[in-house]
Structure 1
Amino acid sequence: MTGETVSSAARAETAFERIAETDRPEVWIALRDKDDVIAEARAVDAAAAAGADLPLAGLVYAVKDNIDVAGLPTTAACPSYTYVPQRDATAVARLRAAGAVCLGKTNLDQFATGLVGTRSPYGAVRGAVDPARIAGGSSSGSAVAVALGIADFALGTDTAGSGRVPAALNGIVGVKASLGAVPADGVVPACPSYDCVTVFAPDLTAAAAVLRRITGPSPTDPASRPRPDGAPLSAPPAPRLAVPRPADLTALDPDLTPLWDAALDRLAATGATLTPIDIQPLLAAALLLYEGALIAERAAAFGAHLDAHPGDADPVVAHLVGGAAKFTAADLAADQQTLRRSRTEAAALLADFDALVLPTAPLHPTLDDVRADPVGVNAALGTYTNFVNLLDLAAVAVPAGTAGTKHFGISVVTAAFADQIGADIAARFLGEHPPLIAPGGTDLVVFGAHMTGMPLNGQLTDLGARFIGDVRTAPAYRMHALDTAPPKPFVTRSELGASLPGERWLLAPAALGRFLADLPAPMTLGKIELDDGTWATGFCATAPTGTDITAAGGWRAHLTA
């Protein structure tokens, strides 16, 4: 992911050295045998050397132990639940096919029920920096494996915030894509209507490289969804961001308030417009997940197992799931309808914004804090995360500083399948080059008024188009200037042509259709050969007219001259 060629075997060796150095046994439930990992890594190196397409070769990763890895036990942090799957979860299979090598299975809050990382018979997972503080859950082991530099990335899951809170509390990135974007087959269900597979990584570029490999529907997961043709591929240059009012931040630890204020200043410095809104409707919807009849999904998923094996049950998890007994089927139906109305209300609340920015977690408690109030601390950690999956939203969690050993992060929350907008805004906040997090889109090459900084560039950015890079035509084109307002050119193929500079943009297929429909005559789109021998869609003209300006060497040069 860094662009360097790294031996998979050497990286695996380094990972095991790091495991020994850090001495954090509570991170792992099942660590693979070192010799087996090295052997697999050497096979990846050999395949890569033979020319196999392995974009994640040289990377090692960890998997939360509620996600199946063929041949390794899946426990969900409940020993009596253990089984050995014969096939990988789809996300794991896609990573294996891309050349990444799994190190083992990581610890979690039992049955992925919790945000603290302490509800496990395999031990409480301690924070990566301060062992007195929690790592956050439920994907605690996965987050710490990344934060300690053992794994290049890790898979977690997220129902109430488990792919985001541990990222915030360990100073790393956590990406929770839209519901169904990453298939969830091979995942032990927690609350299956809202469960997501997530990615932890040191930075957004690394997370994006993984997401591009695991995103996309699977026939083995009926809840997986394709990315819509009209999904945006880029955040606008000056996004409109909703933020909570001060009155909605009462849960925030006073030690972390300066970090939140600084984060808002950093966002504004990127060109974003920040508008406080009332997020109480979102916080109210969040209560349905644990305090309403939706808890019945957890009871249906694993409640009977806990009843049959009380000795293995974490007391807090058993208590929470046991609370489902007080609800009836009618209660569940009523809460599902309430949630449906809440989704409509949330869509209206956020309709005028590109994203909502929130603190990921309002506090970073100690292990002692959790022991003293296991339910209350857990509930507080989910204040700004619990509603996201319920309301069919996506989120990117990124670090935003520390106060002593307390870690703080922010989350950029977007509409379903507007994940790329969230990633772009988060990358600008971090000062990273915004990475493309999902595959798809159609190339468009432009050579004139639609290029960056030109008068018609807004027609592309308004459609969510994404700048990919500079290009040149094959040396077989001439450029003609049209007498229009604003002036613009087109290119035509000619035996007496030249190589002309332009730009490549990526558009969603639906956006490209709208763009073509709005093109004024004589402009149209056709195939243009580039200097690397490939062909891309670009501007042509149905009736070539205008002044030949090929000799200028391109549109910018023509305007300068």
Structure 2
Amino acid sequence: MTLPGKGPRNGPIIYEELGMLKIWEDHETAGMDYWDSSLGITSLSQDYEAGIKPQHVVQAIFDRIDAYKQVQPSVWIHLQPIGEVMRAANELSIRWPDPKNRPPLYGVAFSVKDSIDIAGIPTTTGCPPLAFTPTASAPVYQRCIDAGGLFIGKTNMEQLATGMTGCRSPFGTLHSTFSKSHIVGGSSSGSAVTVSQGLVSFSLGSDTAGSIRVPAMFNGVCGFKPTKGTVSARGVSPACLHQDCVSFLTSNVEDAEMLWDVCKGFDKGDFFAKLPSTRPIRKSKQLRFKFGVPPASALEICSLPFKKQFAEVIEIIQKSGGKLDDLEWNPFAAANELLYNSSFVMERLTILPEGWLAQNKQLLHPVTRQVFEGTLARNSSAVDLFKDLHKQAEYKRAVEDILTFEEDIDNETDEITLMIAPTTPFHPTIKEVDEDPIGINGRLGSFAHFANVLDLVGIAMPCGTYEIEDVFEGRKTRLPFGVTILAGAGLDGELLRVAAMLEEALQDVGQEE
């Protein structure tokens, strides 16, 4: 297979072939109306139980993809030929004819960030000069396939996963699905677009500093970052190995939990994998929760609409049973600074072949090159690194005493303590990022970077929209807002349970304007 390159409009060259749904028609489905409904996993499963075939869904998906190319032609770096996806869908129908015995992701379409290996398909990581074709697939991808998933394609991303804006891809800059003027977020940029636009049910990505959570917020979907090492990262091109975490983009919390159940598991081949917890998993009759928020001084970085939306979110969460508590913010703030303002940033250089940067830096996107050159200029020593590792251990221990989980077995009532923060402090335009790419990228991580350093589990949740006067499009535009809910390492299930409790209440934030 030829590596996707630039087409005449600087977008990716997509390799595909035409196919028709009627190839797979049989006497049971020949008269069925065209399917064009929700790709939410639960909704899709109900449609399959009612008699819809995966082939109907595949045809609708490729129709949607074809139509959306007129809006953003560079969403995909590799798009599977429709004929191959149809064949996979037909095999599912033959293998699992009984709805009662189907696997959890039967006929569920998904996309994959192009830093995750799929055998026989180039992994570009948004950087064609460093592309390679793997001979084995990443375990997280294979688990989805084994559970009945249908792979649709690999998505555009921030080059080498170096930022959170989505503006550093040689395949083309994407924009938010809410506004052509505003950034899409990164580095899992195309993945967020495919879920937000209903082109797939979910997307596999990775999160190092907010790379799932930020694009989730900017496109109105959920971004779930599990505890590092609970989902195998083998076969995922690293950004910073010690911080990287395989993560998921979905349309709702229920789908995120289902994916986590499918994909989690100890992988001895992943050197950062965690052994399964010995703590028994139980669902108490009642799960109470306390939560803290960043102090007013930290929230000053937020735009006025974000401050207003966040205040409303806090009020809604309190009405939903959450108890607002004063939590120590200093360890979170200190950990945030540690990710990119310390020797930790030097780990970025380990992803490049020896001597490659010196000889080939002109092949990188200008901002990516600037990031790597800035990293080299730090000239950090081994002593600096060990000092920073000691700080990380100190901050992690401090947060263990803040984000707690207490079981009351006798009364079947548990209590979890959470940190809730705006996913980002504002939503910049593409033009603003062009004018200050490094500065804005850093500000976007104000409430995101610490999650990986502290090994927290987190889910970015959409919380309604707010209205702005779009000076570039000359009309009023509604943009998405969202928060990230964070819990201590290993509390993935408990966090998802709280998120599910809050999901409906948070959907209409800001709608009364």
TM-score interval, smaller chain:
0.7 to 0.9
User: Which residue of structure 1 lines up, in the alignment, with residue 418 of structure 2?
Assistant: 355
Alignment of 1:246-261 (within 5 A): 246-261=296-311
Matched, 1:91 2:154: no
Work out the CA distance in 1 between the residues paired with 2:280 and 2:297. Answer: 33
Task: Determine the C-alpha separation between the residues in 1 that align with 2:381 and 2:461.
Answer: 39
1:231 touches 1:418 (CA, 8 Å); kept in 2?
no
Q: Residue 399 of structure 1 corresponds to which residue in structure 2?
A: 462
TM-score by length of 2: 0.81
CA distance in 2, matches of 1:189, 1:118: 19
Q: Does the 8 Å contact 1:108/1:117 carry over to 2?
A: yes
- Indicate the residue corresponding to 1:281 in structure 2: 331
For the Cα contact (< 8 Å) 1:295–1:321, is it kept in 2? no
8 A contact 1:181–1:216 mirrored in 2: yes
Distance 2:262 2:363 in 1: 36
For 1:289 and 1:88, locate their aligned partners in 2 and report how far apart those are by CA, in whole Å: 29
Instruction: Give the AA of the match of 2:366.
Output: P
- Of 16, 19, 26 in structure 1, the residue corresponding to residue 62 of structure 2 is 16
Q: 1:7 aligns with which of 49, 53, 61?
A: 53
Supply the distance in 2 between the matched residues of 1:364 and 1:343 (Cα, whole angstroms). 29
Q: Whose radius of gyration is greater, 1 or 2? A: 1
- In structure 2, the partner of 1:327 is 380
Higher RCO (C-alpha 8 Å, min separation 6): 2
Range with greater deviation from structure 2 (378-387 or 34-43)? 34-43
Instruction: State the match for 1:263 in structure 2.
Output: 313
Unmatched segments (≥5 aa) in structure 1: 433-561
Q: 1:342 to 1:312 in 2, by over 3 A?
A: same
**Structure-2 change in CA distance of 1:231 and 1:156 (3 Å):** farther
| Residue aligning to 2:409 | none
Task: Name the counterpart of 2:208.
Answer: 159
CA contact (8 A) 1:139 1:166 kept: yes
Q: Does 1:208 align with 2:281?
A: no
Distance 2:358 2:326 in 1: 46
Q: Distance in 1 between matches of 2:98 and 2:290?
A: 48
In structure 2, do the counterparts of structure 1 residues 241 and 371 end up closer, same or farther at CA, with 3 Å as the change threshold? same
Instruction: Look up the equivalent residue of 2:53 and give its one-letter code.
Output: S
CA deviation map 1:247-288 (0-9, x unaligned):
220111111212111111111111110113342331221112
Which residue identity lines up with residue 502 of structure 2 in the other structure? Answer: F
Correspondent of 2:273 among 214, 218, 224: 224
Kindly, what percent of the aligned residue pairs are identical? 31
Q: Which residue of 2 aligns with 1:410?
A: 483
**1:58-89 Cα distance to aligned partner (Å, 9 max, x none):** 21000000001112110000001111111110
The one-letter amino acid paired with 1:307 is A
Helix, strand or coil at the partner of 1:358: strand
Deviations 1:79-111 (A, max 9, x none): 011111111100000001011011111011111
Determine helix, strand or coil for the equivalent of 1:166.
Answer: helix
Aligned 1:134-533 pairs, distance under 5 A: 134-230=183-279, 233-234=282-283, 236-302=286-352, 304=354, 305-325=356-376, 326-351=379-404, 354-404=417-467, 405-431=478-504
Secondary structure class of the residue paired with 2:446: coil
In 2, Cα distance between equivalents of 1:334 and 1:278: 23
1:76–1:108 Cα contact (<8 Å) kept: yes
Higher strand share: 1
One-letter amino acid of the counterpart of residue 384, structure 1:
F
CA contact (8 A) 1:64 1:155 kept: yes
Letter in 2 for 1:409: G
Task: Return closer, same or farther for 1:301/1:119 CA change in 2, 3 Å cut-off.
Answer: same
TM-score by length of 1: 0.74
Contact kept, 8 Å, 2:178 with 2:479, in 1: the verdict is no
Q: For 1:307 and 1:41, locate their aligned partners in 2 and report how far apart those are by CA, in whole Å.
A: 46
* 2:179 corresponds to 1:130: yes
Which residue is 1:44 aligned to?
A: 92
Amino acid at match of 1:366: T
SS of residue paired to 1:151: coil
1:233 touches 1:421 (CA, 8 Å); kept in 2? no
Which moved further from structure 2: 255-264 or 94-103? 255-264
2:14 equivalent in structure 1: none
Report deviation, 1:28: 1.0
Consecutive unaligned residues in structure 2, runs of 5 or more: 1-40, 406-415, 468-477, 506-513
Shift of 1:118: 0.9
- Contact kept? 2:158, 2:166, Cα under 8 Å: yes
